[in-house]
Chain A
């Protein structure tokens, strides 16, 4: 029992700093979803049911730029591909949870993956820890989305700079991950492809999908080239 309490405490304390960052992100999502004409219930329902920062932000941003449901869905599938890898890597650490794995799998994403895999490496399988981490993130995400959607109605986004939240948040997520030539080249290729597509067809809805499919090929080419050399 004492061991479980210790695990709960550790999980919560280690998740807390990231939960604060997630909450600011959730606040931005709430405001942006509100601007994309989602109802308050819709904003919170998406957070409760999807629980994926990148997918939700991308969906809302794409809808704001006039994208169709089909293109949003296709882009989200591309974004979700990495969950396959996260899930496979976390599977052993979550194995003791047995049937609860179905519930814990709901939290497989970037931040829980980082904390979970690090914990499993040090302490072996620990589903309780993972559950506490994703529970903390889930509450932070749902509550902040709700607050963001509430204030979204009452503030002029341009006046308060809230329209800047989306690109700035993504820059803050992108920059720390730019390590190594293949990743930097992927980001650069992504930017170049997106600029070209936007110049050819301003405001078109395929830019993100085409870039998402093509840009990784550049990183892949460089990485394979380096491995073969």
Chain B
């Protein structure tokens, strides 16, 4: 529990610092284009890794693919590509993933 509060404190401080530095310090300064590009790609890499970690579930030291999560993710990807609206895509993806879980059990 204490760890949670320490984490909340540290995350709030580091996140705020990242925000205020941009506004107060970096404004008007030149950043290397390479570094700028690198920063742009960081969230993409991290989000991809997080999705993979949710699809591949470690069980008894072995990796197991969670089929309902995989199907839910694929359905969401197709829906958001077609309708381009966040909320319905998430809802439809969740329903399809849930249906997959129900049918596979």
Distance in Å: Cβ of B43 to nearest Cβ of chain A: 6
Count of chain A residues with Cβ under 8 Å from any Cβ of B?
Answer: 97
Q: Tell whether, in the assembled complex, residue A164 and residue B68 are in contact, meaning their CB atoms are under 8 Å apart.
A: yes
Q: Which residues of B contact A77 (CB under 8 A)?
A: 14, 18
**Would you give the shortest CB distance from A115 to chain B, in whole angstroms?**
15
Contact present for A190 and B22 (CB under 8 Å): no
Choice from A85, A102, A105, A187 contacting B40 with Cβ under 8 Å: A85
Among residues 56 to 98 in chain B, which have CB atoms less than 8 Å away from a CB atom of chain A? 56, 58, 61-63, 68-69, 72-73, 76-77, 80-81, 84, 86-87, 89-90, 93-95, 97-98
Instruction: Give residues of chain A (116-147) contacting chain B, Cβ–Cβ below 8 Å.
Output: none
Complex Cα distance, B21 from A94, in Å, reads: 14
- List residues of chain B with CB within 8 A of the CB of A149: none
Chain A residues with Cβ below 8 Å from B18 are 77, 80-81, 83-84, 87
- Once A164-B97, A195-B52 are accepted as A-B contacts, the answer to whether A216 and B38 lie under 8 Å apart by CB is yes
Give Cα A105–Cα B21 distance, bound, in whole angstroms.
9
Interface of B is mostly: helix
* Minimum C-beta distance from A210 to chain B (A): 8
- Chain A 23-52, CB-CB to B under 8 Å as 1, else 0, gives 010000000000001110010011001111
A9 at the interface (CB under 8 A from B): no
For B72, the chain A residues whose CB sits under 8 A away are: 161, 164, 167-168
Q: Please tell me if the beta carbons of B19 and A175 are within 8 angstroms of each other in the complex.
A: no
Q: Quick check: A49 and B37 within 8 Å, CB to CB?
A: no
Residues of A within 8 A of B (CB): 20-21, 24, 37-39, 42, 45-46, 49-52, 54-56, 58-59, 61, 63, 65, 69, 72-73, 75-92, 94, 101-102, 104-109, 158, 160-161, 163-178, 182-183, 186-191, 193-195, 198-199, 202-203, 207-208, 211-212, 214-217, 219-220, 223-224
Chain B residues within CB distance 8 Å of chain A = 1, 3-12, 14-16, 18-24, 26-29, 31, 34, 36-56, 58, 61-63, 68-69, 72-73, 76-77, 80-81, 84, 86-87, 89-90, 93-95, 97-98, 101
